[in-house]
Amino acid sequence: MSITPITSKITPLSMGQAVSQASPTTAAQGIESTFSGILKNLETTQATSDNMLQQLSAGENVDLAQLMIATQQTDINFRVAMSIRDKLVDAYKEVMRITV
C-alpha cells in the first residue's frame, strides 16, 4: 500500500522578491492562477474520493485506508479554498472601505 503525499501548488515569495514591484495586473494574475490551481486540485481530489465512495457502495473491493485518505484530502483542500476565499473577500471589503 503506497501513501501519496499531499502537495501544494502554492509557491511562497522569495526573500528578495518585493510585493510592491509587481504590477496590479501581474498580482491579480498570480492570485487568479493560485486560486485556480487550488480549485483544480480540489476538483481532482473530490472526483477521486467520490469515485471510490461509489465503488464502495456498489460492493466493489476498495481499500478503506485509501478511501479515508482521499476523503480527508478533499476536506483539507475544501477548507483551504474556503479560507483563501474568505481572505480575498475580507481584503476586497477592506479596499472598499478606503476613502480617496
Rg of the Cα atoms in the chain: 18
Q: In terms of Cα–Cα distance, which of 44, 45, 46, 68 is closest to 56?
A: 68
* Structure confidence at residue 34 (pLDDT): 85
pLDDT digits (tens, 9 = 90+) for 56-87: 999 999 999 999 999 999 999 999 989 988 99
The Cα 34–Cα 74 span in angstroms is 17
Reported pTM = 0.65
Cα torsion 32, 38, 41, 43: sign:
negative
Residue at grid coordinates 479554498 = 81
CB count in 10 Å sphere of residue 52: 20
Domain locations in the chain as residue ranges: 24-97
- Given a contact cutoff of 8 angstroms between Cβ atoms, the answer to whether 49 and 70 are in contact is yes
pLDDT digits (tens, 9 = 90+) for 79-100: 998 998 899 899 999 999 988 7
